Amino acid sequence: MTVLVFGTVAYDDVETPSGVRTRQLGGSASYFAVAASYFHDVAIVSVVGDDFEGSDLQLLSDHGIDTSGIEHAEGKTFHWAGRYAEDLNTAHTIQTDLNVLVGYEPSIGDLHARPEMIFLANGDPGLQLLTLRSLDARPRLVAGDTMNHWIAENRDQLVNTIANLDIAIINESEALMLTGERGIARAARAMLGMGIEYAVIKRGEYGVALFGVDLQFAAPAFPLIDVIDPTGAGDSFAGGFIGHLANVETYDDDELRNAVMAGSTIASLTVQDFGLGNLAYLDAKRIQERFNQFAELTRYRGHSHPDGLRLRNVSTRSPELAAASR
């Protein structure tokens, strides 16, 4: 059974402190699918234009990704131009050209109507819901992402879409914007109130936090000396996260924690080159090595002394108590 992703396949122009790249293959579905392909079978539902290069389609197929759900339309492929300044956590959008996305409605063929899991990547929330409703049955896991553009333009529809997810995987700034809350714990609580089971909040170089009603887990980002291009970190995180969950029978608390680590591992490898330059050329050994380094970084078994932290008793009284005893 397959993990299905509905999202964008794009050509990106990206500027980071490490350099400039034009027309690099990107898009939320591309990053997600390539990352997830190291874990599980993946299929993409998306659209590209007549300028889409055969070699880019080949790169996706070379990962075993089912690209038969990528429609080829007349016109240009979706284009995004963005810049990262010294703060590599925040992408500044310079230009978004929807191109073939204008008027596009995904059509889910028989081949893709019964996926095991689905990821509704960043995109029009109305189309995200339409895609979910076109499936023959509800998949074992429904996850989705969004961005500031949709919160500003179409919040009501977005809240409706979120109510149909099991897991929302969303950037910190967008979680705060969506809920109007201050702080990720409050934002996650508000998102759980919208009907989801878990909120995964991506925090760039500060890592990831996972919130459920009875579960909280946080992982740092892998401390890299050189982040070359943060584009795709979020989508490749989601690819690793859901790819891992597709390989286990139930997503219990421990597997959700493992999924966060799997996603963080893949995202840390993505940002080490422009675009798919590193992500597309990984192998199981390199991913496992990074995962092991990550596990070492976060290893903590609690304090080994039987008395715990060996704290001293300091007797203090609050001003109110002191005044009452006077």
**Footprint on this chain of ligand AMP (rule: CB under 6 A):** 8, 10, 12, 26-28, 31, 80, 96, 122-123, 147, 149, 231-235
Which ranges in 154-283 belong to alpha helices (H)?
155-162, 172-179, 184-193, 233-246, 253-270
| Amino acid letter, 82 | G
- Closer CB to ligand AMP, 173 or 258, in the complex: 173
Nearer to ligand AMP, 2 or 122 (CB): 122
Q: How far is the CB of 19 from ligand AMP (least distance, A)?
A: 16
Residue nearest to ligand AMP (CB): 26
Which residue, 115 or 263, has its beta carbon nearer to ligand AMP?
A: 263
* Closest to ligand AMP by CB, 2 or 146: 146
Nearest distance from residue 279's CB to ligand AMP, in Å?
11
| Identity of the amino acid at 157 | Q
Q: Strand 167-171's sheet: what is its strand order? A: 66-72, 42-48, 3-6, 117-120, 141-144, 167-171, 198-202, 208-212, 216-219
Query: Rg of the chain over CA atoms, in angstroms?
Result: 21
End-to-end CA distance of the chain, in Å? 73
Looking at residue 164, its amino acid is N
- Comparison of 148 and 189: residue with beta carbon closer to ligand AMP: 148
Nearer Cβ to ligand AMP (141/147): 147
State the minimum distance, in angstroms, from the CB of residue 235 to ligand AMP. Answer: 4
Q: What does each C-alpha distance from 43 to 58, 63, 134, 145, 206 come to in angstroms?
A: 14, 11, 15, 17, 30
> CB 220 → ligand AMP: shortest distance, Å?
19
Q: What sections of 8-63 are H helices per DSSP? A: 28-37, 54-62
Question: Please, what is the minimum distance in Å from the beta carbon of residue 290 to ligand AMP?
Answer: 18
> Closest distance between ligand AMP and the C-beta of residue 300, in Å?
29
